[in-house]
A and B are shown apart, each in its own frame.
Chain A
Amino acid sequence: MRLALALSIAALLAVFLLYTSIAGGGTPSLRPSQLLANGHDGNRVTLSGKVVGHPTGNPGEGGLHFRMRDVNGTATVAVVYRGTVPDMFRTGRDISVDGRLRNGVFVGVKNTLVTKCPSKYSPKKSTS
């Protein structure tokens, strides 16, 4: 019994190590200020922040253009995104989007834009 348990744990760890060695350690989650400080060589990262200004353009073609700001801060970065825009997207909303920093503009990966519930006025939440 003990032996079976020990072998299972060893197997689990082996699988785990296999995965992490192949797939690497996850995607960085950054705020705009962090992204501006370190572009991560144009590698894919996840940018989280607040939508500010007025979004223009078209997520279907040409791209939706907007700016993102640190939730608690002032640094902003320009974002261009194509793909599905989720329900609650609008100015003032906290969002996350995957993408790469290229020439000072964050180019979003398609269909990775995700919104968070809380709004400016009160803690609006979706349920647990």
Chain B
Amino acid sequence: MAELGRAALVICLGLSVYAAAAGAYAAYRGRRRLSLSARNALIASFVAAVVAVLVLVAAFLRNDFGFTYVAEHSSRRLPALYTFSALWGGQEGSLLFWLLILTGFAAAAVLLNRRSAPDLVAWVVPVLGGVAIFFSFMLVAVSSPFDTQPAPVDGAGLNPSLQNLHMLIHPVLLYLGYVGLTIPFAFGMGSLLAKRGDERWIVATRRWTLAAWGFLGIGQLIGAHWAYVEVGWGGYYAWDPVENAAFMPWLVSTAFLHSVMVQEKKGMLRIWNMLLVAGGFVLALFGTFLTRSGILSSIHSFTESPLGGWFLGFIAIVIAFSLALIFLRLPLLRTKTKLDSLASREASFLYNNLLLVAFSLTILWGVLYPILSEAVTGQRNHVSGPYYNFFLHVFGLPLLLLMGIGPLLAWRKTSLRTLARTWAWPAAVSLVVGAILLALGAGSSIPGLIAYTFSAFVIVSIVVEFVRGTRARKAVAGESWPTAFSSLVARNRRRYGGYVIHAAIVLLAIGIAGSSAYDTTREAKLRPGQSMEIRGYTLTYRRLVQRESENAREVRALVDVRRGTSSEGTLSAGKNNYPVERQVSNEVAIRSNLVTGEDVYLIAQQVETDGTVFFKAEVLPLVNLIWLAGFIFIGGTLIALWPDARESRRLADRYGYAAARA
């Protein structure tokens, strides 16, 4: 069956080449049937990709170790569910997965827009085809998942760190995000190729961008949660190049989501938006490249493989293409519109863009620093936590404050007196909160205290926005408070969904501040019966237990947790031994207090044969707010994404007119 898989990939490559070449020619010459044919090729490439994936899935499910890829990433003992993790757990499989989502999204995007923007779609098809060419070529010629070998008795098994639900979902979400960013890129470039200066491309891809950004955000949160509970060093983010690889496109996309609103309201920043959409896509590709080449040492790095060179080449082509196209179409994009005032919402979006892009650039610099320093000085240097945290404070804290300031500003212009009035409540509350926290000892970390104070400001300003809006709606429509509230949100989904998302980010900030600025760590060597104290908790080590699971031998130290006189349960921390993969993994124990959001985190660093255990314990305040923020983030994104019939009708009117012909 491997031949079928290989054939499907070759067919996919051929279709992509056709879609790109024929599509470009058809759009250039205005040939309708050829353009339709190219579009069909793009859709058919999705079908071919599906066939290839099905072949691989079938091979995994049958434990066909004649497939080299299956033998390397699966074993007979592997639980069925994790065969999917194995599917995208290796280089070739993950590339195939990328191709699947890419062709799927491409097919959907062109199909959904075929009637409403046919001239735009005509140029979007070759751009998407071009991207598909790269990935299918990689899979056909450089890194194929369908290599065969004489089948060994059993496979090598899946890395135990990947055998959990997190690693089942995390790559999917990240890929949906990364690949999702291709669609706005293709539409933006397509718009330029079609010589259109209007915002049709933004309107068509608004929900795509928001969804991709949402997936990328949640994917990262799940990755952080995985690091927290599985990798188990007591943290959730290590500024590892691969983590940064997902963070950078997310930051740039955040900037883009805001700056397109400025283009909508005022028609300005058109060039900037084109640059941002291309930048987001390039960073998504770069992120994919970072995790595949061995060029930077990272926890996640794949082996040094030739794939890296190809990726770099493709990224270079995309950058050159985008910049050239933007440059050529500059006259189309230029506007003379200016900002009305530096104290307006548009201006705050501009500041937020500058901060977000600046932050991404400093992260990029940090990621590339080892390569650059080696190239310049011959000595490879790298930066780590302190560097990134410095800039997180310098850029992140003002961004946090802006989330509160922006909504309180009106579009166009706000006078200082009005500003003073609208900011009175949020400022007052946040200063009081800050003073109280200072009195409670939060001064031990200045950035933490600032983060808390700013967060209070933002929360109050969001609440004020909702209250004001509901009150105004009530006055207009005479509805009751709840009805006014829901109709307010329903009629302005993007704005109020956005506020909910901001609230989620604020919770995230509070959680991060609490768990990183105000955490406590203790280490102790305990024999059964002994205890250790940490921040008011008493941890008493009872005994060791052992058990066998499907593919591991598990050793656990049972530890009772008490706070004062009340018992808080038992933690079991220890290690798992995986005989097939010949590996030992740390299994940490976490006791979450859902009321205070605090976690007691226990690592059994070393288990001796005589029952002595070396423990490391941490208390992390407010860390669970981070995970709560994820749910609120999803909610806010859904609200903002939700289809709005009124808006669709209005847009259909606008563009329906433009396309109407006698």
Contact = CB atoms under 8 A, between A and B. Distances in A.
Interface of A: 1, 4-5, 8, 12, 15-16, 19, 23, 25-30, 46, 48, 58-61, 83-90, 96, 111, 114-118, 121-128
Contact of A126 (B245, B292, B299): B299
B584 A90 contact: yes
B472 interface: no
Contacts of A8: 351, 354, 358
B89 interface: yes
Nearest to B89: A127
Contacts of B303: 118, 123, 125
B121 to A, nearest CB: 30
B298 interface: yes
Nearest to B521: A111
Contacts of B614: 58-61
Given A84-B603, A87-B586, A114-B299, A122 B231 contact: no
A37 B323 CA distance: 45
Given A26-B369, A128-B246, 12 more contacts: A19-B390, A27-B382, A28-B380, A60-B605, A84-B605, A88-B161, A115-B299, A117-B159, A117-B302, A124-B72, A125-B89, A126-B167
Interface in B96-149: none
B287 A128 contact: yes
A28 B232 CA distance: 26
B373 A26 contact: yes
Interface in B378-397: 379-384, 386-387, 390-391, 394
A90 to B, nearest CB: 7
Contact of A58 (B585, B608, B616): B608
Contacts of B491: none
A89 B231 CA distance: 12
Nearest to A40: B379
B31 interface: no
Given A1-B339, A87-B585, A118 B302 contact: yes
A114 B373 CA distance: 22
B231 A87 contact: yes
B580 interface: no
A25 B387 CA distance: 10
Contacts of A121: 156
Interface in B152-206: 156, 159-162, 167, 170-171, 174-175
Contacts of B586: 84-87
A123 B91 contact: yes
A12 B300 contact: no
24 contacts: A5-B354, A16-B362, A19-B387, A27-B381, A27-B382, A48-B297, A58-B606, A59-B606, A59-B614, A84-B605, A87-B584, A90-B583, A111-B233, A116-B301, A117-B301, A121-B156, A123-B72, A123-B302, A123-B303, A125-B90, A125-B91, A125-B302, A127-B85, A128-B288
B370 A29 contact: yes
B47 interface: no
Nearest to B167: A127
Contact of A87 (B160, B383, B391): B160
Interface in B505-546: 525
A12 B398 CA distance: 13
A88 B577 CA distance: 11
Interface residues of B, number: 73
A116 B94 contact: no
Contacts of B174: 128
Contacts of A12: 354, 358, 361
Contacts of B339: 1
B94 A126 contact: no
A32 to B, nearest CB: 14
Contacts of A28: 379-381
Interface string B565-591: 000000000000000001111100000
Contact of B232 (A46, A58, A87, A128): A87
A117 B381 CA distance: 22
Residue from the set A19, A30, A87 with the largest chain B CB neighbour count within 10 Å: A87
A128 B381 contact: no
B638 interface: no
A126 B161 contact: yes
Contacts of A96: 297
Contacts of A114: 299
B291 interface: yes
Given A87-B586, A122-B72, A127-B94, A15 B394 contact: yes
B486 interface: no
Contacts of B632: none
The residue among A16, A30, A124 with the most chain B CB atoms within 10 A of its own CB is: A124
A122 B584 contact: no
A121 to B, nearest CB: 6
Contacts of B305: 123
A88 B583 contact: yes
Contact of B162 (A19, A27, A127): A127
A83 B615 CA distance: 10
B338 interface: yes
Contact of A127 (B171, B342, B584): B171
Given A58-B614, A87-B232, A90-B584, A125 B161 contact: no
A116 B159 contact: no
B88 interface: yes
Interface in B56-78: 72-73
A12 B564 CA distance: 49
A32 B381 CA distance: 15
A25 B292 CA distance: 27
A85 B603 CA distance: 10
Contacts of A126: 89, 159, 161-162, 167, 299-300
A104 B181 CA distance: 50
Nearest to B603: A84
B20 interface: no
B261 interface: no
Contacts of A89: 584
B242 interface: yes
B34 interface: no
A23 B388 CA distance: 12
Given A90-B583, A116-B297, A60 B606 contact: yes
Q: Which of A29, A114, A126 has the most CB of B within 10 A?
A: A126
B547 to A, nearest CB: 19
A114 B351 CA distance: 37
